[in-house]
Chains A and B, each alone.
Chain A
Amino acid sequence: QKEVEQNSGPLSVPEGAIASLNCTYSDRVSQSFFWYRQYSGKSPELIMSIYSNGDKEDGRFTAQLNKASQYVSLLIRDSQPSDSATYLCAVSAQGGSEKLVFGKGTKLTVNP
């Protein structure tokens, strides 16, 4: 059973701080990794994708991937109250499967 684990939180950070969200996965041959942001009552919105080991930066967001440790993280710099949401980690399963496996999500609250 392929699994994706996230700390459920809630994670609370002050405005302007760095928020760090973590995700581990069990399938060693997973290839594609995604971070989605979901506001309450809304659909998931893709904010980052990463496929290679290392860091990938997009504005205030940095995704980090370490395939040896089966670990992917999302850093949010200069956190804003508008970043308050649930962040879902998703991993593309290997072997021709057409599925994304989602973690249970981490609820982030950024306090003004």
Chain B
Amino acid sequence: DTEVTQTPKHLVMGMTNKKSLKCEQHMGHRAMYWYKQKAKKPPELMFVYSYEKLSINESVPSRFSPECPNSSLLNLHLHALQPEDSALYLCASTPEPLLAASTDTQYFGPGTRLTVL
């Protein structure tokens, strides 16, 4: 199994809803990432989990709450989002955290297209 899976593929939610995005990989990777990507922009890093611990939070608003229940699974809990949060949310993983001189490559999942009404 050499892929990162994400569910759901599409999500429409209201500003008062609570929803969760799910990401899974069974490659034994020890680092997992959440990115947000708006149209015609590069992916923007949100969170990094290394060995199931949150290692980077790029000053993301608290309405986004990540969770890493185990080494294969990464969730992103969403609450009270704004319309400007509508974007493609990408999960990625690497065998080890991306450290200096590492030759590990980052694999992306297919993404969840989120629309906030």
Interface residues of A, Cβ cutoff 8 Å to B: 29, 31-32, 34, 36, 41-46, 49, 51, 88, 90, 92-100, 102-105
- Closest B-chain residue to A86, C-beta based? B40
- How far, in whole Å, are A43 and B113 apart by their CA atoms in the complex? 10
For A89, give the chain B residue with the smallest CB separation: B42
A29 CA to B42 CA in the complex, in Å?
22
Query: B105, A49: Cβ atoms under 8 Å?
Result: yes
Least distance between A4 CB and chain B CB atoms (Å): 9
Which residues of the partner chain A approach B41 to less than 8 Å between Cβ atoms?
104
> Of all chain B residues, which has the CB nearest A34?
B105
Q: Would A102 and B43 count as touching, CB distance under 8 A?
A: yes
Chain B neighbourhood of A36, CB < 8 A: 108
**Assuming A43-B109, A98-B50, A98-B56, is B43 touching A32 (CB within 8 A)?**
no
Main secondary structure of the interface of A (DSSP, over half): loop
CB-based contact A103/B42 at 8 Å: yes
List B50-109 residues whose CB lies under 8 Å from chain A.
50, 55-56, 88, 90, 97-103, 105-109
B contact residues around A88 at 8 Å (CB): 42-43
Which residues of chain B come closer than 8 Å to A44, judged between CB atoms? 43, 90, 108
Residue from B98, B103, B113 whose CB has the most chain A CB atoms within 10 Å: B98
Cα–Cα distance between A96 and B107 once the two chains are bound (Å): 19
> Could you give 21 example pairs across A and B, Cβ below 8 Å?
A29-B100, A31-B101, A42-B110, A42-B111, A43-B88, A43-B111, A49-B105, A51-B103, A90-B106, A92-B102, A96-B100, A97-B99, A98-B31, A98-B48, A98-B50, A98-B55, A98-B99, A99-B45, A102-B43, A103-B42, A105-B42
